[in-house]
Amino acid sequence: MSQKPEDFFKHVISHSKEYGYIFQSSEIYDGLSAVYDYGQLGVELKKNIRDYWWKAMVQLHENIVGLDAAIFMHPTTWKASGHVDAFNDPLIDNKDSKKRYRADVLIEEHIAKIEDKITKEVEKAAKRFENFDAAVFLSTNARVKEYQDKIDAINARFKTALNDNNLEDVKQIIIDLEIVCPISGSRNWTDVRQFNLMFSTSMGSVSEDANTIYLRPETAQGIFVNYLNVQKTGRMKIPFGIAQTGKAFRNEIVARQFIFRMREFEQMEMQFFVKPGTEMEWYEYWKKARLNWHLSLDLGADKYRFHDHLKLAHYANAACDIEHNFPFGFKELEGIHSRTDFDLKQHEQFSGKKLQYFDPELNQNYVPYVVETSVGLDRLFLSILSSALKEETLEGGDTRTVLNLPPALAPYKAAVFPLVKKDGLPELAESIVKDLKFDFNIAYDEKDTVGKRYRRQDAYGTPFCITVDHQSLEDKTVTVRHRDTMIQERIAIDKLSTFLEERVSLKSLLKTL
RNA sequence: GCGAAAGUAGCUCAAUUGGUAGAGCUCCAGCCUUCCAAGCUGGAGGUUGCGGGUUCGAGACCCGUCUUUCGCUCCA
């Protein structure tokens, strides 16, 4: 398509709405920012993607089992995971440069500058004196002490301000320290605001007794807190995995790009528990396995790439993303992280419960290491929909809009048409629908010319159209028209079920893995 | 959150310097009976995102607000 990426993305969005894939939430009330609903076709596609992932992960791996943990979790969970601290960033804007900074980072950078001065003093002194003892110098030199006192004072004040949630004082610290914006060089700051990326609500009907609880910002913790339950009751032996799909919620400051970054979204995660020291092997294994899964959708190998994280999160010793080429460029689709034993250790510490595994081969206990695969279902949906949407120019200059969805994921597997709405053709067509509908989601349409109906199903992404004509009454065969090639072939009615099964079932897709 | 652009029927878009809100497609009911969106007849669908202001008169101008896309920012 000779469209600008931006225009193509708008086309994806309008197509999604026009054909019932995605609607904006609460649209009649002007919508809710960055929240979307899945329509009648969208819910089918989403369900099929989820099913394909689930079967590929759980059904095809005897050492992976499923879980469905609640969205609400004990508040301490989020202290242990680090989300309470990490998701509470005090932010401040410079009014002149319009740049936003984390207030704590600005203050820490200021402290770092003072520390540099100390280092320089030490270096100077080291050159001047023989037998220089840095430790003695640090504790005795007046200038160094002055610097150090300054640092301690700032730290103490900042810590108090944060603990008391005293954002005015955080701003005052920045003003008192005469911190300037690196871009504009000005001290024209806004107030400090706290952005809590976790949604909270209260549990219990009596408000005084109400406990603040959070809507989970990730599904992983539900797996970690249940890891021992599953291991014991499922008699799981390491290495083993726990898979889960479900909603997570993040109060993003900026949530945009259609369903790419939503405030409410669905994750599909698998946490794989391994013996410490073997995690890199498994990390490589899952990198390959997950990329392979994406490639099986046949949307084009050039649309995927790995992006290795150079800066690792506090919990990880290796991490990468599988990125997909969205209409707005390569962006993260799935993350594969080697999370070490960080999460389980944290939960051991905060809960006081042992979360260890007894390894019969080693005859010893240990906290397993975890390799995580985490994919956004909504992002996957968007990657498939935007890769599948095509505006084709046919011979003769005609254009058609077609969704080349992987057949196994398409909302409708086939559509059945009577060529004309008389002569008993609708009755025969309906009897075919009746027969197929137990195994496949089938559409029926008898309105408008058959060509128009074909194009309508192309826009839906239906891989096959089955047309009943007068010959069908004679010899019990029908025309099957292929979505992608538009080629037609004649098939016996009693062979339809097998024909579809081979081409549109999840089984056919799973076998390619 | 800052900046830019935009918001008119289900979709894509019109509407002279401010002067009666329209078209195509879609949809619905019928006619026609045709294997790739194109025939005929009729019909439905709108307080122009919302609220206020200027004006004799606002879809258009001004202010506010909501939503979307883009850039910056953020993304444990």
Calculate mean pLDDT across residues A399-416.
Answer: 92
Q: Which 3 state secondary structure label does DSSP give A497?
A: helix
What is the per-residue pLDDT for A97? 59
The gap between A106 CA and B63 C1' (Å) is 37
Q: Return d(Cα A295, Cα A289) in angstroms, integer.
A: 10
Find all residues with CB under 8 Å of A281, minimum gap 6, and list them.
none
As given in the structure block, the two tokens for residue A202 are 């209260």
The gap between A414 CA and B14 C1' (Å) is 39
Query: Among A193-197, A458-462, A466-470, which is the least confidently predicted range?
Result: A193-197
Q: Output A253 or A231, whichever has higher pLDDT.
A: A231
A1, pLDDT greater than 50: no
Percent of chain A with pLDDT over 90: 54
A431, pLDDT greater than 50: yes
The gap between A191 CA and B2 C1' (Å) is 15
In this prediction the ipTM stands at: 0.87
* Across all strands, nucleotide nearest A14 (CA–C1'): B11
As given in the structure block, the two tokens for residue A127 are 């050159």
Q: Return d(Cα A49, Cα A388) in angstroms, integer.
A: 14
Q: Which amino acid belongs to residue A305?
A: R
* Across all strands, nucleotide nearest A82 (CA–C1'): B76
Q: Return d(Cα A433, Cα A130) in angstroms, integer.
A: 95
* Across all strands, nucleotide nearest A102 (CA–C1'): B74
Q: Output A221 or A256, whichever has higher pLDDT.
A: A221
The gap between A11 CA and B5 C1' (Å) is 17
pLDDT in tens, A380-397: 999 999 999 988 887 767
Find all residues with CB under 8 Å of A92, minimum gap 6, and list them.
A100, A101, A102, A103, A106, A170, A171, A174, A189, A190, A191, A192, A193
Burial class (CB in 10 A: 0-12, 13-18, 19+), A6: exposed
Are A274 and A286 spatial neighbours (Cβ–Cβ below 8 Å)? no
Are A404 and A390 spatial neighbours (Cβ–Cβ below 8 Å)? yes
A2, pLDDT greater than 50: no
Helical H segments across A314-447, by residue range = 342-351, 377-388, 425-436
The gap between A26 CA and B51 C1' (Å) is 19
Domains in chain A: ranges and CATH: 41-75+197-393 (3.30.930.10), 88-194 (3.30.40.230), 395-510 (3.40.50.800)
pLDDT in tens, A363-382: 999 999 999 999 999 999 99
The gap between A513 CA and B76 C1' (Å) is 33
* Chain B footprint positions (protein CB, under 7 Å): 1-3, 7, 10-12, 26-29, 32-38, 49-50, 66-76
Q: Return d(Cα A401, Cα A388) in angstroms, integer.
A: 10
> What is the three-state SS of A139-176?
HHCHHHHHHHHHHHHHHHHHHHHHHCCCHHHHHHHHHH
* Across all strands, nucleotide nearest A482 (CA–C1'): B36
Task: For tokens 């490589």, name the residue.
Answer: A284
* Across all strands, nucleotide nearest A193 (CA–C1'): B1
pLDDT in tens, A280-316: 999 999 999 999 999 999 999 999 999 888 777 777 8
CB of A414 under 7 A from strand B? no
Full-model pTM: 0.84
Burial class (CB in 10 A: 0-12, 13-18, 19+), A370: buried
As given in the structure block, the two tokens for residue A338 are 């080697």
Residue A509 has phi, psi (to 5 degrees) of -75, -40
Q: Return d(Cα A295, Cα A194) in angstroms, integer.
A: 41
The gap between A427 CA and B31 C1' (Å) is 22
* Across all strands, nucleotide nearest A314 (CA–C1'): B76
Residues 20-59 of A with CB under 7 A from strand B: 24, 30-34
Q: Return d(Cα A195, Cα A64) in angstroms, integer.
A: 37
What is the per-residue pLDDT for A94? 66
pLDDT in tens, A205-244: 655 555 788 899 999 999 999 999 999 999 999 999 999 9
Mean pLDDT of chain A: 87
pLDDT in tens, A139-176: 788 888 888 888 888 888 877 776 666 777 777 787 77
* Across all strands, nucleotide nearest A451 (CA–C1'): B36
Residues 238-267 of A with CB under 7 A from strand B: 250, 252-254, 256-258, 261
Are A122 and A137 spatial neighbours (Cβ–Cβ below 8 Å)? yes
A129, pLDDT greater than 90: no
Q: Which 3 state secondary structure label does DSSP give A440?
A: coil
Q: Return d(Cα A391, Cα A399) in angstroms, integer.
A: 7
What is the per-residue pLDDT for A265? 93
Tell me how crowded residue A421 is: count the other CB atoms within 10 A of its CB. 11
Q: Return d(Cα A289, Cα A286) in angstroms, integer.
A: 5
